[in-house]
Amino acid sequence: MRFLLALLFVAAVTPALALDGSAGVKATPLLKSTTSWDGKALAWPAGEAEGSMLLIEIAPGAETGWHSHPVPSFAYVLEGELEVSLQDGRKNRLQPGQALAEVVGVLHNGRNVGQGPVKLVVFYAASKGQALTQKPQP
């Protein structure tokens, strides 16, 4: 499983992988974007880089709650049906095998709208020690 997740990460961020064409290896690009799904340009954080990868599981009917990410992040849905909503009413519905560049600095809520669990892998590009997720201030 760890090898698969690492391969997914490499495929998501590396154009025209040198691995593709090697004996027994196939690289399928999952996402290549200069913007998040709301159309805003991606910008890398300053300072010492730190990449993180999380497996996030959301039970049927559950939601993440409103939150934002101060850093670029990229999600790949392994299982289930996920709906991501912005406060302005825009929604993005994702199925297994789909990927997206998450919104940066924008409040959003993820909700499992399917019958089974949602499982997604999320890759974060942050500065060392930087928070990956922030809840709104009351």
Q: What is the pTM of this model?
A: 0.80
Among the listed residues 43, 47, 30, the one whose alpha carbon sits nearest the alpha carbon of residue 122: 30
Tens-digit pLDDT profile for residues 76-103: 999 999 999 999 999 999 999 999 999 9
Q: Counting runs of H as helices and runs of E as strands, what totals does the chain give?
A: 1, 7
Name all domains of the chain by residue range, CATH numbers in brackets.
30-127 (2.60.120.10)
Q: Kindly compute the dihedral angle of the four CA atoms of residues 90, 69, 39, 107, in this order, to the nearest 10 degrees.
A: 30
Instruction: Decide if 108 contacts 67 (C-beta within 8 A).
Output: yes
Tell me the three state secondary structure of residue 4: helix
Tens-digit pLDDT profile for residues 22-72: 778 888 888 899 999 999 999 888 889 999 999 999 999 999 999 999 999
- The residues, ordered by sequence, that sit 6+ positions from 58 with a Cβ below 8 Å of its Cβ are 64, 80, 82, 110, 111, 112, 117, 118, 120
**1-10, 43-52, 84-93, 128-137 — which is least confidently predicted?**
1-10
